Amino acid sequence: MADLAGYFSLIAQRFLKLAGIECRLKIDDAITAHHLDSRTRHGIFLAFKEALNNIVRHSGATEVHLTIEVMEGCLVISLADNGCGIGENSGLPGSDGLRNMDERIRSLGGTCAIETQPGAGTTVRFRINLLENDP
pLDDT over 90, % of the chain? 73
C-alpha 38/C-alpha 54 separation (Å) is 24
What average pLDDT score do residues 92-107 get?
Answer: 81
**pLDDT tens digit string along 66-81?**
999 999 999 999 999 9
C-alpha 86/C-alpha 115 separation (Å) is 9
Cβ pair 112, 105 in contact under 8 A: yes
Give the pLDDT score at 119: 85
Ramachandran bin of 113, using left for φ above 0, alpha for ψ from -120 to 50, beta for the remaining angles: beta
pLDDT over 70, % of the chain? 91
What average pLDDT score do residues 101-111 get?
Answer: 96
State the DSSP string of 90-121: GGSTT-HHHHHHHHHHHHTT-EEEEEE-TTS-
pTM of the model: 0.91
Hey, what domains does the chain have and what are their CATH numbers?
Answer: 2-129 (3.30.565.10)
Cβ neighbours of 19 (radius 10 Å):
14
